[in-house]
């Protein structure tokens, strides 16, 4: 039996360690990665383009890449189709990008085949497997799906970790999207995303145009959302949101309109519907607005000294809002400190107002240009 190897906290703390290699800076690192996408959305076009770029060390969406040898197992395509697509994308093919059109199954031959290739071609830093379903046998209904998914993908992750390279799986989304968590769109159990070091989900918001959204998260990757459009068979980024931008997006703007209103009016008593009418907001239903107010209360209202409680009458459920002012004359200072704290939490993305009377809280929060533009082009 192999002995358990331990390392002391002191040794680990002070030992210089290599950073995970970024194949695409801030997007894709070594380890196990998975891209899941809607059917026929253009996943294979994206993967082929990424393989061409990374194998040549060319930027991807304005981000630097680490040049490496690439293998693309195009298990759902023919050599003719890949040839045609490659000729559409480039004029001169890279010599360090290789294709395969068949391989063994997970848990049978595949792991050995990948290890053999990595021993023969140790400069290989990236292997695409398109698609995951093509290298798996159907899972019996009697088997725990989570356990089986975790076991199968852990074998690939171990190979990637041992060889300090990336194995990148292509997968399919469910037909019905999950409105609460985009990463739940992946077909299969949550064990798939649980094993992966990097998860990407590509899905269309409208099936009648070429626009899509690529959501990215990972152990060594800050959460991102890339809004994209396909032009001439290449996915181009039209807008990029980092983690701070995603937090801003998740907090509905009307909540900051409510905060502005309360900072001016000092108090409010009435129903949710009446409050929404007071700020001129008509698009969110009252029951949804009530849930969002509760969910984001500590983030938006509490730092400003705003309190809220409910009172149920015979005819309605009332919200009683109050802006708490002390007698020491330091309310503006405290609110500016609260705004500064929010600014820090949101990665210094916004311009801080000089005084609370000089700037609308909603407009400050919504603003503008970041200190440094994201490098996506």
Measured distance CA(115)–CA(193) in Å, rounded: 23
Domains and CATH numbers, the chain: 17-241 (3.40.50.300), 252-366 (1.10.10)
Please say if the pLDDT value at position 68 is more than 80.
yes
Of the ranges 9-18, 45-54, 103-112, which one carries the lowest mean pLDDT score?
Answer: 9-18
What would you report as the CA-atom Rg of the chain, rounded to the nearest whole angstrom? Answer: 26
Please say if the pLDDT value at position 232 is more than 90.
yes
Give start and end residues of each alpha helix (H) in the chain: 9-14, 43-56, 79-89, 110-120, 145-162, 191-195, 243-250, 253-265, 272-278, 286-295, 297-300, 331-345, 361-366
In percent, the amount of the chain with pLDDT more than 70 equals: 82
- pLDDT at residue 345, rounded to an integer: 53
- pLDDT at residue 210, rounded to an integer: 87
**Taking the C-alpha atoms of 94, 34, 165 and 161 in order, what is their torsion angle to the nearest 10 degrees?**
-170
Beta-carbon contacts of residue 214 (< 8 Å; ≥ 6 apart): 200, 201, 202, 225, 226, 227, 228, 235
Beta-carbon contacts of residue 293 (< 8 Å; ≥ 6 apart): 255, 258, 272, 308, 319
Cβ proximity of 371 and 261 under 8 Å: no
> Which structure tokens are listed for 358?
């000089």
Q: How many angstroms separate the Cα of 370 from the Cα of each of 350, 366, 374?
A: 6, 11, 8
- pLDDT at residue 377, rounded to an integer: 43
Q: Find, among 370, 353, 371, 354, the residue nearest to 362 by Cα.
A: 353
- pLDDT at residue 329, rounded to an integer: 58
Please say if the pLDDT value at position 32 is more than 90.
yes
Neighbours of 271 (CB within 10 A): 16
Measured distance CA(294)–CA(308) in Å, rounded: 10
Note the pLDDT tens digit of each residue in 170-222.
Answer: 999 887 776 667 888 888 888 888 999 999 999 887 777 889 999 999 998 88
Bridge partners (DSSP) listed for residue 116? none
Measured distance CA(73)–CA(183) in Å, rounded: 24
Of the ranges 50-54, 119-123, 188-192, 265-269, which one carries the lowest mean pLDDT score?
Answer: 188-192
Neighbours of 294 (CB within 10 A): 11
C-alpha neighbours within 13 Å on the C-beta side of residue 154: 8
Q: Say how many Å lie between the first and final Cα of the chain, rounded.
A: 53
Note the pLDDT tens digit of each residue in 259-317.
Answer: 889 988 999 999 999 999 999 998 888 888 888 888 788 888 888 889 998 888 988 88
Query: Which of the two residues, 78 and 181, has the higher pLDDT score?
Result: 78
Q: What is the mean pLDDT of residues 234-254?
A: 78
Bridge partners (DSSP) listed for residue 29? 22
Beta-carbon contacts of residue 83 (< 8 Å; ≥ 6 apart): none
Q: How many angstroms separate the Cα of 266 from the Cα of each of 249, 294, 304?
A: 27, 19, 11
Strand ranges across the sheet with 267-270: 267-270, 317-323, 306-312
- pLDDT at residue 353, rounded to an integer: 31
Cβ proximity of 54 and 24 under 8 Å: yes
Of the ranges 40-49, 52-61, 126-135, 324-333, which one carries the lowest mean pLDDT score?
Answer: 324-333
Neighbours of 188 (CB within 10 A): 21
Q: What is the mean pLDDT of residues 14-36?
A: 91
- pLDDT at residue 134, rounded to an integer: 94
In percent, the amount of the chain with pLDDT more than 90 equals: 49
DSSP 329-376: S-HHHHHHHHHHHHHHHTTT-SPPPSSTTTS-HHHHHH----SS--S-
Please say if the pLDDT value at position 361 is more than 70.
no
Query: Which of the two residues, 46 and 221, has the higher pLDDT score?
Result: 46
Cβ proximity of 9 and 160 under 8 Å: no
Q: Give, as one character, the DSSP assignment of residue 92.
A: S
Please say if the pLDDT value at position 162 is more than 50.
yes
Instruction: Please state the pTM of the whole predicted model.
Output: 0.68
């Amino acid at each position: 039996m192999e002995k358990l190897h331990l390392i002391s906290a002191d040794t680990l703390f002070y030992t210089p360690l290599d950073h995970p290699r970024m194949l695409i800076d801030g997007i894709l690192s070594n380890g196990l990665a998975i891209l899941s996408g809607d059917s026929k959305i253009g996943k294979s076009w994206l993967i082929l383009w990424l393989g061409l770029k990374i194998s040549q060390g060319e930027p991807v969406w304005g981000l630097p890449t680490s040049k490496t040898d690439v293998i693309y197992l195009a298990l759902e395509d023919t050599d003719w189709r890949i040839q045609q697509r490659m000729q559409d994308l480039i004029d001169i093919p890279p010599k360090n990008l290789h294709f395969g059109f068949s391989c063994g199954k997970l848990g049978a031959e595949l792991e050995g085949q990948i290890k053999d290739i990595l021993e023969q071609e140790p400069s290989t830093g990236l292997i695409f497997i398109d698609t995951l379903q093509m290298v798996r046998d159907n899972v019996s209904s009697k088997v725990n799906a989570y356990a089986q998914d975790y076991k199968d993908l852990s074998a690939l992750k171990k190979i990637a970790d041992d060889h300090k390279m990336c194995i990148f799986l292509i997968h399919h989304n469910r037909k019905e999207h999950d409105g609460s968590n985009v990463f739940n769109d992946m077909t299969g159990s949550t064990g798939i995303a649980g094993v992966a070091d990097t998860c990407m989900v590509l899905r269309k918001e409208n099936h009648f145009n070429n626009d899509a959204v690529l959501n990215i998260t990972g152990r060594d990757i800050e959460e991102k959302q890339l809004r994209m459009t396909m032009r001439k068979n290449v996915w181009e980024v039209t807008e990029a949101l980092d983690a701070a931008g995603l937090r801003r997006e998740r907090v509905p703007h009307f909540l900051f309109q409510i905060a502005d209103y309360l900072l001016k009016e000092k108090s409010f008593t009435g129903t949710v519907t009446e409050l929404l009418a007071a700020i001129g907001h008509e698009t969110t239903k009252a029951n949804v607005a009530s849930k969002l107010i509760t969910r984001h209360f500590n983030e938006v209202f509490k730092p400003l000294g705003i309190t809220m409680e409910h009172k149920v009458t015979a005819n309605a459920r009332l919200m009683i809002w109050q802006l708490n002012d002390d007698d020491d004359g330091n309310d503006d200072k405290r609110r500016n400190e609260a705004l500064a704290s929010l600014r820090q939490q949101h990665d210094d993305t916004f311009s801080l107002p000089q005084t609370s009377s000089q700037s609308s809280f909603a407009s400050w929060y919504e603003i503008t240009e970041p200190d440094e533009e994201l490098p996506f082009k």
